Structure 1
Amino acid sequence: MVRVLLFFFTIFLSVSGNAQDENLYFSEALAMHLPKYDTKAQKAYRADDEERAKFLFDSLVNNCLKGSYLDNFKVKNLKKRVIPLDEIKKPLYLITNASWIVPTKGEVPALNELADKYHDRIDFVVLFWDNQKTAKALAKQYHKSIRVLYVDELSNESNYVIKNLKHSLGVPTSFLLTEDKKIVDIRRSVTHPYGVKSEESFNINHKAFSEGISTLLIRDSSELSQHAPEGKLP
């Protein structure tokens, strides 16, 4: 009987373990938990239960994906050079997007203002699921401190990246990452009713981006303090 109980206890631990395991990658966490999430989320969307769908997404992120490490996905810059994400050394605010998604009025201006203010401590990246020509045109609206990268789905060269970063959680989605690419949070982009004035849209987006930035800065300062002399923060 004791052996049976130990067996089921071991199975329980292996199944209930989440992304807090030190060496668990994002792609591995997705493989473990995404199928169950997809089944429940699709049911919620079919029932037009947005509140349930949001709860399921937040649960997936908080219980299964936070604490995992983003894989060293390879994307391209606007000069078509391959960029491994590990090449980015600061804490990272990564936004995945696509040209067919129309941003809210205040989204890009709010991001531009905050990137200009915090780019010395955080790297801001917008990753488009588009070809190089389209990504290059879209890049003109962003501040110079925001790096615009892309993955061309039609080139069939990055199926692994597309499967994990685009088709798993959809777009637009933001990934908040420490400098060693540990996932601090994953967030949906802000939405608001159509017809909201530009100033109000800016404020809504500014607040959302600021919360994410604060999360990264607090996490970064906390980790730095662990290696600093007592009573001092680098």
Structure 2
Amino acid sequence: MRSFLYTLILFLSLTTSYSQDKITYLSDAIKENINPYKKASNKAYEKREIEEGKILFDSLVKNKLIGTKFDDFNLKVYKDKNVKINRIQKSVFIITYASWCVIPKGEIPALNILAKEHRDDLQFIVVFWDKKKDIKNIANKFNEHIKVCYANEYYSKDSHIVATIKHTLGFPTSIFLDEDKNVIAIKHFNYKTKIKAPIKEAITNSYNYFSKDINENLVKTL
């Protein structure tokens, strides 16, 4: 397994950067590189080699997905008009969830605080891989500075974003885009708050985790 792992990582790193003269969309980059990644990743997780699975994902992101153009998805916003990614005139921070997954304690309040603090330079978008009715109870927990969206296989117009993001990158996942909608960062969350942690502590820890990530990525956009 390790021999195959390092062979794949070497393969992913051979053609790292995309030409600035040619636009490569995220969906195309994923299509070109996802099969060998999935094969190795599935083997790693079947054998409970979690760290190797993480290494594979990070290698795919770093060598093949960073620098691509985010597709101009048309997102359905809960209780608001649809939004097209390219019409957002600032950097974008996207987080994907599913309503049936338990969001860690303190995470939503922390994101609400951060979205308010960065309302002038960053658009927060939360995407639930659900039908509209499934997010009714959780959507209202996010404040007005966060666009709560939803996409699902049962909606015909969602097939592209579901295939590109949900079925390949998994969730919960964060995606950071610069003002031109180039992909700056993609990561799986590795932060987990303690179940019995006091709510203030949980909010602070979650705030610090996301704040560090956001500020580091904002610097990359300058």
Give the TM bin, normalised by the shorter chain: 0.7 to 0.9
TM-aligned CA deviation for residue 129 of structure 1: 1.2
- SS of the aligned residue for 1:168 comes to helix
Within 2, Cα distance between the matches of 1:204 and 1:32? Answer: 37
2:3 is aligned to none
- Kept after mapping to 1: 8 A contact 2:152/2:162: no
1:67 is aligned to 67
Q: Which amino acid aligns with 1:17?
A: T
Within 1, Cα distance between the matches of 2:154 and 2:66? Answer: 30
Q: Which amino acid aligns with 2:135?
A: A
2:220 is aligned to 219
1:17 is aligned to 15
In angstroms, what is the RMSD of aligned CA positions? 2.0
- Kept after mapping to 1: 8 A contact 2:105/2:193: no
Mind listing any 5+ residue stretches in structure 2 that lack a counterpart?
A: 1-10
- Kept after mapping to 2: 8 A contact 1:19/1:29: no
**Mapped pair 1:98 → 2:102:** no
1:114 is aligned to 114
1:206 is aligned to 207
Normalising by the residue count of structure 1, what TM-score does the alignment of the two structures yield?
0.82
Structure 2 vs 1, CA of residues 79 and 19 (structure 1 numbering), >3 Å: closer, same or farther? farther
- SS of the aligned residue for 2:154 comes to helix
Cα-to-partner distance string for 1:169-220 (whole Å, 9 max, x where unaligned): 1111100000111011001124426534034433332222112211232123
Normalising by the residue count of structure 2, what TM-score does the alignment of the two structures yield?
0.86
Q: Which protein is bigger by CA-based radius of gyration?
A: 1
1:134 is aligned to 134
- SS of the aligned residue for 1:89 comes to coil
1:10 is aligned to none
Structure 2 vs 1, CA of residues 80 and 112 (structure 1 numbering), >3 Å: closer, same or farther? closer
- Kept after mapping to 1: 8 A contact 2:104/2:193: no
- SS of the aligned residue for 2:58 comes to helix
Within 2, Cα distance between the matches of 1:192 and 1:151? Answer: 25
Structure 2 vs 1, CA of residues 190 and 16 (structure 1 numbering), >3 Å: closer, same or farther? closer
1:40 is aligned to 40
Within 1, Cα distance between the matches of 2:100 and 2:214? Answer: 26
Within 2, Cα distance between the matches of 1:83 and 1:28? Answer: 22
Kindly, what percent of the aligned residue pairs are identical?
Answer: 33
- Kept after mapping to 2: 8 A contact 1:21/1:67: no
- SS of the aligned residue for 2:169 comes to coil
Cα-to-partner distance string for 1:136-158 (whole Å, 9 max, x where unaligned): 43221112111111113222332
